[in-house]
Structure 1
Amino acid sequence: MTNLSSSSPSVPHLPKVALVIGANGVIGSNLIQHLLTLPDWDIIGVSRRGGMDRERLRYLSVDVLDENDTIDKLGSLQEVTHLFYAAYQDRPSWAELVEPNLTMLINVLNAVEPAAPHLQHVSLMQGYKVYGAHLGPFKTPALEQDATPMPPEFNMAQQQFVEQRQQGKSWTWSAMRPSVVCGVALGNPMNLALVIAVYASLSREIGIPLRFPGKPGAYHSLLEMTDATLLAKATVWAATEPQCGNQAFNINNGDLFRWNELWPKIASYFEMETAPPLPMPLDVMMQDKEALWQRMVEQYDLEPHPYSDVSSWAFGDFVFGWDYDFFADGSKARRFGFYEFVHTEQMFWDIFDDLRVQRIIPG
């Protein structure tokens, strides 16, 4: 593995060194996998659980909510050139999200910025909450320059902090605004593809049709998704293109869908019948399914992941409750030079295939 601490300010052509905060989440882990495909990057992944080092990648176990631990572990990383911030702390209410999520970012920047003389860019991971999407029907398609909702909202609190901190500095920032991010990562509180896959697997095992469990209006709303790998590519692009400095970008797959068209296709993938939608809170209905899941793990020789790591039912309820259109205009990124897109249906099939290959769900 490359010795990431060997870089010196006196050495020309310093390698790009990414510090990824939130390295084990669906966004951070896919960002790291993408960076590993690029030969001119070294990567430091930061999370509470740490990880397994490999060539050009090392992990640090850090509680970034703890100021002292953050300074102790990150305060000597002189080699960092790009900070990718994708950490998230969940809380019961929107207002409660601000304090921990802003504190973590402040702790990280307070530790890294003074230590890293070659810091070039700080990348923030946001979402459509900056447009008030979590509160109810919002203006669609949302634009990066749209008015923000009344605070508290942690994404904008983080951006305002970084904007103020950046004044007079040589580094720049970017804010990436994906829709619902889909990828493969366990133990993540926001992983819709895994919610659908586990819900379908349980329904199939019980012998019932695959029903859409959300609000009636949500079945017909217009939605979009963001593939985690696509987001990773866009994030690195924005962090390394000078014209993208101090800009926000909506990042989405580039197509739109309605559940009433996609849901029967998902049922077909799992070789299941459908039945009319029936509103039911998954967070309640799935509480007694842990024993069933454990029997399935044994019967189908699945990897023995805890039930809590493969189920994000509250997030599924949140997404399936959007009885209003949920999409943003992604053309700004294209105008700045990012042209990649993903077919959303194929994204789901690829993720479901991967979950089967990894023996997370039955084949």
Structure 2
Amino acid sequence: MTKYKALVVGATGIIGSYILDHLSILDEWDAIGVARNIPKKNPERYVSLDLLNPELLRNKLEQIRGITHIFYAAYQDFPAQSQEQLDVNTSMLANVVKAVEETSNSLDRVILMQGAKVYGVHLGKFKTPAKENDPRHLPPNFYYNQEDFLRTHQKGKSWTWTILRPDVVAGVSIGNPMSIAMVLGVYASISKELALPLRFPGKENAYKALVQFTDASLLARASEWAALQKHTALEVFNITNGDLFRWEDLWPKLAQYFKIDAGPIQTISLTELMPLQKETWVSMVNKYDLLQTPYEKVAAWPFGDFVFGCDYDVISDTTKIKQFGFHEVMDTEKELFAVMDELKKQKLIP
């Protein structure tokens, strides 16, 4: 029996798609995905909304009504820390929340996704383990704008919010600006096709630094948990798999998985060099009967450069979420290879 009605915003991204899939198999949830472009698979689960047009947004949501939960994982990519990045991403969140308020009197909780950039991971070395109550870094940061909107706008309202802070999210996703699995899978596959060893493309110290991931399925389950617990209202939680790894330990295993030799470190710009491999990839798509996807959408090379360029430890303290009752953890290495298996199964990589 349906008890809750969810609006999953950013439902084709790596986070939103897993939340939508998770909620869609549960009897107590009626989940609707918001996407700019409705996917061909299960199109009935989605609605196309322009998050930057408040009037059209409100008119569309008038037809849905009864929304109890908003899971917000939408993001529009702009130059880092630009005014456009701040304004657009904050406006999209504000427009959705206000439109749901105006069209549904049953709104109970807004779940907002943030990330380790809230702690300044993109700026350089920072305090670790990072805790939810650590002081902010110097602005700008669009996460701060979004959070400040929720904190201010919610005052005096019957609904509440919860914020989750995953780190690098691992899952099956294509055309997403933050999908590390596709970066690894495509980079390794092209290296193999060209008979090259799998060289670590990042910085030497990044090869040795401590790294953390958040599995997309784990994050989906944590999102549902956070949405339904009364004591998680108005709280912020770090959420990761619970373990740590170093690329120097994982990289040889990645090479073994793809059946190629592990090469030495060779610091390169994936953003500059990988677009030049388009011809190779197109031939691989035909050769291995892969899913026909524009090469520009296959992998987010700037995100790969960012992840492999972090030459310092990235660690989030997850004590708080465990104290509040979410104890699930995952083996990052095991789950990453499970994601690779799924990428192969879906014909995204050979």
What is the TM-score when the length of structure 1 is the normalising length? 0.93
1:212 and 2:196 matched: no
Distance 1:351 1:65 in 2: 33
CA contact (8 A) 1:50 1:62 kept: no
> Given the alignment, which residue of 29, 45, 57 partners 1:70?
57
**What is the CA-CA distance between 1:54 and the residue it aligns to?**
5.2
Q: What one-letter code is carried by the residue in structure 2 that aligns with 1:217?
A: N
1:151 and 2:139 matched: yes
Paired residue for 1:85? 72
Distance 1:151 1:123 in 2: 23
Question: How high is the sequence identity, in percent, across the aligned residues?
Answer: 48
| 1:257-285 residue CA offsets vs partner (Å, 9 max, x unmatched) | 00011111111100110121010000111
Q: What one-letter code is carried by the residue in structure 2 that aligns with 1:275?
A: G
> Given the alignment, which residue of 70, 82, 105 partners 1:95?
82
**What is the CA-CA distance between 1:178 and the residue it aligns to?**
0.1
Q: What one-letter code is carried by the residue in structure 1 that aligns with 2:187?
A: Y
Q: What one-letter code is carried by the residue in structure 2 that aligns with 1:114?
A: E
Q: What one-letter code is carried by the residue in structure 1 that aligns with 2:178?
A: M
1:245 and 2:233 matched: yes
Distance 1:110 1:337 in 2: 30
Distance 1:107 1:238 in 2: 22
Distance 1:333 1:228 in 2: 17
CA contact (8 A) 1:52 1:59 kept: no
SS in 2 for 1:162: helix
What is the TM-score when the length of structure 2 is the normalising length? 0.97
- With over 3 angstroms needed to count, the CA separation of the structure-2 counterparts of 1:39 and 1:54, relative to structure 1, is farther
**What is the CA-CA distance between 1:74 and the residue it aligns to?**
2.2
CA contact (8 A) 1:20 1:45 kept: yes
Q: What one-letter code is carried by the residue in structure 1 that aligns with 2:58?
A: I
> Given the alignment, which residue of 50, 69, 72 partners 2:38?
50
**What is the CA-CA distance between 1:144 and the residue it aligns to?**
0.5
1:10-49 to structure 2, matched below 5 A, reads: 15-49=3-37
Distance 1:286 1:95 in 2: 25
Distance 2:47 2:25 in 1: 21
Paired residue for 2:47? 60
1:309 and 2:297 matched: yes
SS in 1 for 2:5: strand
> Given the alignment, which residue of 191, 205, 223 partners 1:235?
223
| 1:52-96 residue CA offsets vs partner (Å, 9 max, x unmatched) | 5859x6311112122333222224432100011100011112233
- With over 3 angstroms needed to count, the CA separation of the structure-2 counterparts of 1:19 and 1:53, relative to structure 1, is farther
Distance 2:68 2:306 in 1: 36
| 1:184-227 residue CA offsets vs partner (Å, 9 max, x unmatched) | 01110110011000000000000010000011111111110000
Distance 2:117 2:275 in 1: 28
- Any gaps of 5 or more consecutive residues in structure 2? none
**What is the CA-CA distance between 1:156 and the residue it aligns to?**
1.5
> Given the alignment, which residue of 112, 115, 118 partners 1:124?
112
**What is the CA-CA distance between 1:41 and the residue it aligns to?**
0.2
1:257-296 to structure 2, matched below 5 A, reads: 257-296=245-284
Distance 2:106 2:220 in 1: 22
